[in-house]
Amino acid sequence: MPDVQSMVLEFVNKLRKRKIEGSQATARCTVELLRSVISHHRVPHANQASALIDAVKAVGAQLVAANPVELAVGNVVRRVLHIIREEDLSLATAAVAGLDLLEASDDDEDVNGKGIGYPGMSAAVVAAAARSTLRPPSLQTLLEGTPESATVPYTSSSGADSESKTADKSSVTRKLKHDVIEGVNQLIHEIAGCHEQIAEQAIEHIHQNEVILTLGSSRTVLEFLCAAKEKKRSFRVFVAEGAPRYQGHLLAKELVARGLQTTVITDSAVFAMISRVNMVIIGAHAVMANGGVIGPVGVNMAALAAKKHAVPFVVLAGSHKLCPLYPHNPEVLLNELRSPSELLDFGEFSDCLDFGSGSGSPLLQVVNPTFDYVPPSLVSLFITDTGGHNPSYMYRLIADYYSADDLVM
Amino acid sequence: MGAQKKGGARVSEDSEEQSRQRLQAILLADSFTTKFRPVTLERPKVLLPLVNVPMIDYTLAWLESAGIEEVFVFCCAHSTQVIDYLETSEWHSHPNLVVRTIESHKSISAGDALRYIYEQQTETSQIQGDFVLVSGDTVSNMPLADLIQEHRERKKRDEKAIMTMVIKKSKPSLITHQSRLGTDQLFIAVDPLTKQLLHYEEDKVDYARGSVCLDKSLMESNPSVLLYNDMQDCYIDICSPEVLSLFEDNFDYQHLRRHFVKGVLVDDIMGYKIFTHEIGSSYAARVDNFRSYDTVSKDIIQRWTYPYVPDINFGGNRPVKLGRQGIYRACDVVQSRSADVGASTVVGYGTKIGNGDRILNSVIGNGCSIGSNVVIEGSYIWNNVTIEDGCEIRNAIVCDGVRIRAGAVLEPGVVLSFKVVVGRDFVVPAYSKVSLLQQPMKEDSDEELEYADSSSGTADRLSGLSLEMESKGSELGPDGAGYIWEVCEGAHDEEWKHSVAPIPEDKLAEITQAMDDYDDMEDESVVPTSGELKSDADSINTDVNDPGDDYGYFEKEVEGTFLRAVEEGIKVELGVLEINSLRLSYNMESADCAGAIFYSMMKLAVDTPHSSASELYKTASSIIAKWKGLLGFYVKQTDEQIEVIMKFEEMCQETAKELGPLFAQILHVLYEKDVVQEDAIMRWAEEKAGADEADKVYLQQCETFIQWLKEASEEEDEDDDEEED
């Protein structure tokens, strides 16, 4: 698989050189890369799931290290790992069911062809197994002991009939990979479609003649606002320009192109304008497990202003932006300082940066952070592709998407 | 690549290929200078760490990210080290960037290197089209693709546009006239519309006068010219293949700027043109000397080079974590609680920092161990350095494996080369360069020659040397090892300019003082008005600098004018006009004119063939009679008249001794012709009365005349009094 290796290297290279940025783009590239990693990975006969997990983890670690600030990369890697674990588990339970049936009907083909074709049998087991992977085993599950028993009979029964085991195993292998790729495809679909999913809910949140404030540029926000517009809602949008990258200007351009009434304001005018605003809508870079939001720089200021004036502060985030990590974790890199040249003209300030005279220590420091952190207490509502949620519900949502084993990679 | 494709597709593919050639670059992994000595005696400059990453990695990472597909790395000094490094680094078998090395030991300049590359081209590795020419010490994050495209399109329109040079705005220091990178202030002239480079002046600029000399033809051929003095040459050039052949044709081209650019601009061979490209928001700089090493390091720490910063893994480096106040610290650093690590500091992997240390504005490499109560400010400590308790290090560069024993002090500007040991409590004097290798006695009289003959012998010499050292102690204290290099003559003044240490206050004050003094003089003397600029280029750039000389020059001009006037019989009015214009252009007083004219008149008299003193007297008085109108124009004030007398006296004493005996007589003539009034003569006599005996010769000579004048005036006064009564 040299070509996969080179693809990984290329993507790592792009991430490192900051040639690919933004959670949407990185998430999509990551998941597509992982799909080809999985499809090219030659799975051994034994322990195919853990082999796949190791392969994905190895690539994932490289990707995360390449640009730790793009949290979406880590999220997607964990999602894929979760898919592998889930599929493995459901296959295992299906196999248990299949083996049970095998003894009764002796029909190999049918079992392997249909896979989860025994809904009556597997559904309960799958559900129980899934539950066990979602969260640390609760007292109840420990007492019930269902998931553990799901894997035990499989291993014991496989030792019983060696001939049927080998045939069964290769098909299970193929099956696992197939199912995982199926699952990853679904994830790709989900990431690609999250804008529409979120935008569908726009009509419930934006009302007639309202004034919406947003900051920076986010495709999700753009689609959200346009969806409301398409539903014949008439409202006005204030766009804070989002210095120093001024992505708000781009957003304003696009909004106007779609026929929305748009006003561009400076970031520093946010507080002055907030009393006229009915709702603040922000696109997130990442949503942390505690419900805190990482967004473009200046967002915290807007959130505080909104809090002061009791204006709802709504955050739009596709599910790939949900990060299972907590912001106080020292391993998590929340911010990146970019080049001062976005703020200052080097030529104009070059005399301030002359280290040849004076004490030689730089008197002029320029700090250009990319992101801002908004604590969960300032967020009124999260709108994800699965609907609206409270900040305090985020940890639960995250437990649905990630398995606890993958949190530390 | 198109070989296996079908024939039908060939035509379109060819044109496509032309527009999308492989992007190639030539990287010179040798600077062909000795500015980083003694460090470069043991390791090539491109492998020296810049914020803990070898310089060449910055260049390669940037080239790769800018879309360059193939790089020819030209290695000369320590070529094996460079090649070994490249083979073990991640650039070996990089998916997007093919790194080829070219080795040559004979080249002693960039020109030689390019000629060698030109000769060595083979089928598989050759320069196919436009290429980027950089040196291996360039740090940049500028995008190249658009620039190369621009260059190609320009080339298509104009065959002669062979090079695009990248410049960046950066203000030079007003006091020292050097850029922040420690290079001399650069003057360039650019056509504002086409961006064509018209003039390039790096050295030989007369800072004190603030003047730069442009060729007149420049003004003739271009409607407008933009002159910059706040540009920095990034030494990044987009070149067409013609550049290589131009180097091949002109075998005396050595330096890229001093010879090649000058050659193209001045000698105008084949009418080739060089264009400039100014970069705005991106960063580009070259590490040319220790000062720029310091400056570029600080720029990297301040993230101007983003994404090539220490906390991003851009080329095989281990990223270190960025904390508050711009402190980059590797995760496994062992730091004492009482240590104070200040702003803008980088600390590498496996480094231990002891109790009570104070570290500020510094870069510390990997695997260093720093004792307690050490002060490190503005310094660059490379890898595996041991610093014992209580040392003080300010604005120094400390190379790999150095050991600094307890209590030693490094004063600003010190450079310790590899494995030097500084003895206990030893104070290394400011700006000294210390190496285990002895200073090469007399360099082969060739300043361009880089490092000592390549790496071969160094290692052996080293081991033998250190043994010897330990036995007899060294210049660095009883338990030290290393030689302090002597500063070569002439470079002593420059030492502080190019060192890592900031320029000391007293030096700055000194320069400022010198500038002020100059300005004061300037005020009274020269400021040529544009109307009188002589048409030939060098007339502005005369080497007369101080006002004294300037007067001499003026005097000569006046003399010339006067002689011409005499020869051609020009009228007095016209003569006045000519001399007036000279007076304006040299910013002279009319007294100076008077002196000069009188000088010319007397000179003429003396130069006219004569046999006796009386004959000389006759000629002199006839000349005075004839030209008194001219002289009279400038001697309306008493002061000016005195000036004439003084001049006369001076002449008699120095240049024209023959006139000496005639002094009184000629003075009388001057009085009679109304050139000099009696007031002036009296005042001159009064002034001279107090002078030395030697000076009084002429006064005594005229004593009778003055006596007569006095009497005459007294009589007159009496007459006046009578009248008033």
pLDDT digits (tens, 9 = 90+) for B105-139: 888 888 888 888 888 876 666 777 889 999 989 99
> What does the pLDDT read at residue B519?
66
| Among B255, B249, B296, B245, CA closest to B49 | B296
Residue B683, chain A, CB below 8 Å: the answer is no
Cα B333 from Cα B351, distance rounded (Å): 5
Measured between beta carbons, the chain B residues lying within 8 angstroms of A347 are 168-171, 230, 280
- B164 falls within a domain: yes
> What does the pLDDT read at residue B242?
86
Backbone angle region of B313, left / alpha / beta, with phi > 0 → left and psi within -120 to 50 → alpha:
beta
Same domain, yes or no: B602 and B705? yes
- Count of domains observed in chain B: 3
- B382 falls within a domain: yes
* Residue B533: pLDDT band with limits 50, 70, 90: very low
> What does the pLDDT read at residue B718?
55
Q: Is residue A39 exposed (0-12), middle (13-18) or buried (19+ Cβ within 10 Å)?
A: middle
Backbone angle region of B439, left / alpha / beta, with phi > 0 → left and psi within -120 to 50 → alpha:
beta
Chain A residue closest in CA terms to B58: A17
Q: Is the pLDDT of residue A150 over 60?
A: no
In the listed set B226, B258, B292, which residue is the last one of a domain according to the structure? B292
Q: What is the DSSP string of A305-366?
A: HHHHTT--EEEE--GGGB-SS-TT-TT-----B--GGGTS-HHHHTTTT-TTSTTSS-----
CATH of the domain at B421: 2.160.10.10
Q: Is the pLDDT of residue A280 over 80?
A: yes
Biggest alpha carbon–alpha carbon distance for chain B: 126
**Number of other residues whose CB lies within 10 A of the CB of residue B526:** 20
> What does the pLDDT read at residue B688?
74
Task: Kindly report the backbone phi and psi dihedral angles of residue B183, in degrees, each rounded to the nearest multiple of 5, phi listed first.
Answer: -90, 165
Chain B residue closest in CA terms to A335: B322
Same domain, yes or no: B235 and B329? no
Chain A residue closest in CA terms to B296: A355
* Residue B531: pLDDT band with limits 50, 70, 90: very low
Same domain, yes or no: B555 and B596? yes
pLDDT digits (tens, 9 = 90+) for A339-362: 999 998 888 888 888 887 777 778
Closest-CA distance, A393 to chain B, in angstroms, reads 31
Most trustworthy range by pLDDT among A57-61, B75-79, B681-685: A57-61
Inter-chain Cβ pairs, chain A and chain B, closer than 8 A: 120
Across chain A, mean pLDDT equals 82
- CB–CB contact A351 B171 (8 Å): yes
Same domain, yes or no: B334 and B199? no
> What does the pLDDT read at residue B96?
83
- Decide: pTM greater than 0.90: no
| Among B473, B485, B481, CA closest to B422 | B481
Find the helix or strand (DSSP H, E) in which A157 lies: helix A146-158
Q: Is the pLDDT of residue B453 over 60?
A: no
Q: What residue has token string 């105008």?
A: B268
pLDDT digits (tens, 9 = 90+) for A75-97: 999 999 999 998 888 888 877 77
- CB–CB contact A360 B361 (8 Å): yes
Integer angstrom CA distances of residue B579 from A381, B470, B560, B572, B631: 89, 76, 10, 11, 11
- B508 falls within a domain: no
Residue B342 in contact with residue B325, Cβ under 8 Å? Answer: yes
Beta bridge partners of A261: A236
Same domain, yes or no: B249 and B373? no
Least confident of A40-44, A161-165, A268-272, B452-456: B452-456
Same domain, yes or no: B329 and B232? no
CATH of the domain at B711: 1.25.40.180
- CB–CB contact A351 B313 (8 Å): no
More confident residue, A210 or A158: A210
Closest-CA distance, A11 to chain B, in angstroms, reads 11
Measured between beta carbons, the chain A residues lying within 8 angstroms of B344 are 361-362, 365
Interface subset of B 258-277, CB within 8 angstroms of A: none
Substitution target in A354, A364, A365, A370 with the highest count of B β-carbons within 10 Å is A354
Helices (H), B276-405: 290-301
Same domain, yes or no: B554 and B494? no
- CB–CB contact B304 A340 (8 Å): yes
Residue B480 in contact with residue B406, Cβ under 8 Å? Answer: no
3-state class percentages of chain B: helix first, strand second, coil last, to nearest 5? 40, 20, 40
Measured between beta carbons, the chain B residues lying within 8 angstroms of A329 are none
Mean pLDDT of A208-237: 93
Q: Is the pLDDT of residue B475 over 50?
A: yes
> What does the pLDDT read at residue B504?
82
Integer angstrom CA distances of residue A280 from A231, A250, A319, B456: 20, 18, 20, 69
| Among B348, B349, B355, CA closest to B370 | B355
Interface subset of B 55-74, CB within 8 angstroms of A: 61, 64-65
- CB–CB contact B168 A346 (8 Å): yes
> What does the pLDDT read at residue B725?
45
- CB–CB contact A356 B299 (8 Å): no
Measured between beta carbons, the chain A residues lying within 8 angstroms of B169 are 345-348, 350
Chain B residue closest in CA terms to A340: B304
- B193 falls within a domain: yes
Least confident of A191-200, B127-136, B464-473: B464-473
Contacts of the segment B531-539: beta carbons below 8 A, 24+ positions apart: B531/B585, B532/B581, B532/B584, B532/B585, B535/B216, B536/B216, B537/B213, B537/B214, B537/B215, B537/B216, B538/B213
Residue B79 in contact with residue B34, Cβ under 8 Å? Answer: no
Task: Kindly report the backbone phi and psi dihedral angles of residue B187, in degrees, each rounded to the nearest multiple of 5, phi listed first.
Answer: -110, 125
In chain A the first and final C-alpha atoms are separated, in Å, by 23
- B464 falls within a domain: yes
- B522 falls within a domain: no
- B543 falls within a domain: no
Least confident of A128-137, A207-216, B242-251, B614-623: A128-137
Q: Is the pLDDT of residue B144 over 60?
A: yes
Q: Is residue A304 exposed (0-12), middle (13-18) or buried (19+ Cβ within 10 Å)?
A: middle
Most trustworthy range by pLDDT among B265-274, B388-397, B496-505: B388-397
pLDDT digits (tens, 9 = 90+) for B649-690: 777 777 666 777 777 777 788 787 777 777 878 887 777 776
Mean pLDDT of B219-227: 83
* Residue A111: pLDDT band with limits 50, 70, 90: very low
Dihedral, B606, B612, B618, B621 alpha carbons, nearest 10: 40
For residue A341, give the nearest of B170, B281, B312 by CB distance. B281
> What is the DSSP secondary structure assignment for residue B183, as one 8-state letter?
P
Across chain B, mean pLDDT equals 79
Same domain, yes or no: B344 and B401? yes
CATH of the domain at B29: 3.90.550.10
For residue B298, give the nearest of A13, A67, A355 by CB distance. A355
Measured between beta carbons, the chain B residues lying within 8 angstroms of A358 are 502
Closest-CA distance, A189 to chain B, in angstroms, reads 30
Q: Is the pLDDT of residue A1 over 60?
A: no
> What does the pLDDT read at residue B493?
61
Percentage above 90 pLDDT, chain B: 25
In the listed set B249, B275, B292, which residue is the last one of a domain according to the structure? B292
Same domain, yes or no: B66 and B201? yes
More confident residue, B565 or B200: B200
Parallel/antiparallel/unpaired status of strands B415-416 and B397-398: parallel
Positive/negative CA dihedral, A71, A72, A77, A80: positive
- CB–CB contact A357 B314 (8 Å): no
Same domain, yes or no: B624 and B692? yes
Same domain, yes or no: B83 and B222? yes
Same domain, yes or no: B273 and B328? no
* Residue A108: pLDDT band with limits 50, 70, 90: very low
> What does the pLDDT read at residue A121?
44
Measured between beta carbons, the chain A residues lying within 8 angstroms of B298 are 353, 355, 362
Substitution target in A15, A355, A361, A368 with the highest count of B β-carbons within 10 Å is A355
> What does the pLDDT read at residue B658?
72
For residue B676, what are the domain limits? Answer: 550-724
pLDDT digits (tens, 9 = 90+) for B29-47: 887 888 888 888 889 999 9
Least confident of A5-14, A253-262, B571-580: B571-580
Helix B590-607 vs helix B638-653: angle between axes, to the nearest 10 degrees? Answer: 40
- CB–CB contact A362 B291 (8 Å): no
Chain B residue closest in CA terms to A343: B281
Both structure tokens of B479: 């338990």
- B526 falls within a domain: no
Measured between beta carbons, the chain B residues lying within 8 angstroms of A354 are 171, 173, 180, 295
Measured between beta carbons, the chain A residues lying within 8 angstroms of B65 are 17, 19
Percentage above 70 pLDDT, chain A: 81
Measured between beta carbons, the chain A residues lying within 8 angstroms of B321 are 333
Q: Is the pLDDT of residue A147 over 80?
A: no
